[in-house]
Amino acid sequence: MKMSKTLSTSLIAAGLLAGVAADAFAQAKEQFIGLPSYRVGAYAAGGSGVFGGWIDYMTLINERDGGIGGVKLTWEECETEYNNARGVECYERLKKKGSTGNSVFQPVSTGITYSVLDKVAQDKIPMVTIGYGRTDAVDGRVFPWVFPMITTYWSQATTMVKFIGSKEGGMEKLKGKKVVYLYHDSAFGKEGLGVIEKQAQKFGFTMVPLAVAHPGNEQQSQWLKIRQEKPDWVILWGWGVMNPTALKAAAKTGFPREKMVGVWWSGAEEDTVPAGDAAKGFIAAGFNVAGQNYPVVKAIQDNVYKKNKGNMEDKSRIGSVYYNRGVVHGIITVEAIRTAQAKFGAKPLSGDEMRWGFEHLSIDAKRLKELGAEGFMPDLKITCADHEGSGKVKYQQWDGKQWKVISDWIDADRDMVRPMIEESAAKYAKEKNITPRDCSKEG
């Protein structure tokens, strides 16, 4: 009796120990990603799409592939409401989570990016800012922890002029033309101003800047001026309600929407649907395209939504511009983990190891095809000195119901942009007393 009691106790103890060990093992095979999302407040429409798509892609990797190299992805959302103070709070709250701490921070907000710029370097957590943030952080020699990937505002501005040039029948035809730069009166809105000005000098067109005060729900004066100026094209560097308001005002003043080119924060369904018929013909830039007919989106529907594990409440938004942008965030994150695992082994990675993964990330055309993302996003190759890696942009046109791709990937004028980036980064390095890295010595 005593023997059997001892045996039972031993078995229970062994079982408990095994359980704890298994838990610890399972925990050790998880890669934690902190998500500073915004699903309520002024920018919830965009935030819910981006973070929904991103989470769906990570769920796909877990469900279909069992994680990356056997390491499951785990995540936790922290609501920022697109507010800088809350963003910093979320950064602090998330950084110690998971077995190796938060391995990457992607705020999807330029304001939060600036707020934690110094912190990420101290905490050794890479910060990825896809299509927003600080443009000169492309210079990885000065900003080793920041990755403004795929394409920056400056690159985009050069592709806009290239696109307009192509529509006019060649860059030489831009001479004598007039382009209005209608921008959100903020740091974001002014971001493209310098590059467009330089291009105006280079190609001989006139650029007329017109500021719109935040939030941009009243633009009558600006559009009366546009009617007076009679421009050939209008570049819309808008955000939020400024976009549908501009489209409606353009319709009211009779300016053709086919001659309006928007920044990628003007080119989502959330910008065109509220404008109704007034949005028809409007063109916008994008580093990802809209649509459900891509294998990667179909894979999410088959492996995630059919199992009722999807993140989007409104399933009609799957394939929207913001949703697909979230999928791009997911692809970049997952591919960086794969890259880092190839060097450090299939285990949960620290921020430092993840940084290496991002800095050596290469997604070529072949890999894009394997991922089911051919034509969905551009190929890219990150290096120590170049944290942008691509600079390519596609243009889409709103046909009244959906976005239709109307261009191939257009390369940025990197010869023009790179010296500007280096000059600005060098200035920052001097201010902050940073010695730029020698990339020839980086492994």
Binding site for other proteins (CB under 8 A): 39-45, 47-48, 185, 209-215, 217-218, 220-222, 224-225, 227-228, 240-241, 244-245, 248, 251-254, 270-271, 273-276, 278, 313-314, 317
Nearest Cα to Cα of residue 288 among 163, 207, 390: 390
- 138 within 8 A of 388, measured Cβ to Cβ: yes
Minimum CB–partner distance for residue 439 and other proteins (Å)? 39
Minimum CB–partner distance for residue 399 and other proteins (Å)? 15
Nearer CB in complex with other proteins: 161/182: 182
CA dist 346 to 21, 30, 64, 71, 222, Å?
19, 10, 17, 7, 56
Nearest Cα to Cα of residue 267 among 238, 246, 301: 238
Nearer CB in complex with other proteins: 39/437: 39
Q: How many CB atoms lie within 10 A of CB 347?
A: 17
3-class secondary structure, 41: coil
Helix ranges, 191-320 (H): 193-203, 220-229, 242-253, 269-272, 295-303
Nearer CB in complex with other proteins: 111/244: 244
Minimum CB–partner distance for residue 37 and other proteins (Å)? 12
d(CA 247, CA 71): 47
Minimum CB–partner distance for residue 131 and other proteins (Å)? 19
Nearer CB in complex with other proteins: 45/346: 45
Minimum CB–partner distance for residue 50 and other proteins (Å)? 12
Nearer CB in complex with other proteins: 44/405: 44
Minimum CB–partner distance for residue 244 and other proteins (Å)? 5
The two tokens of residue 291 are 């649509």
d(CA 275, CA 241): 10
Nearer CB in complex with other proteins: 102/245: 245
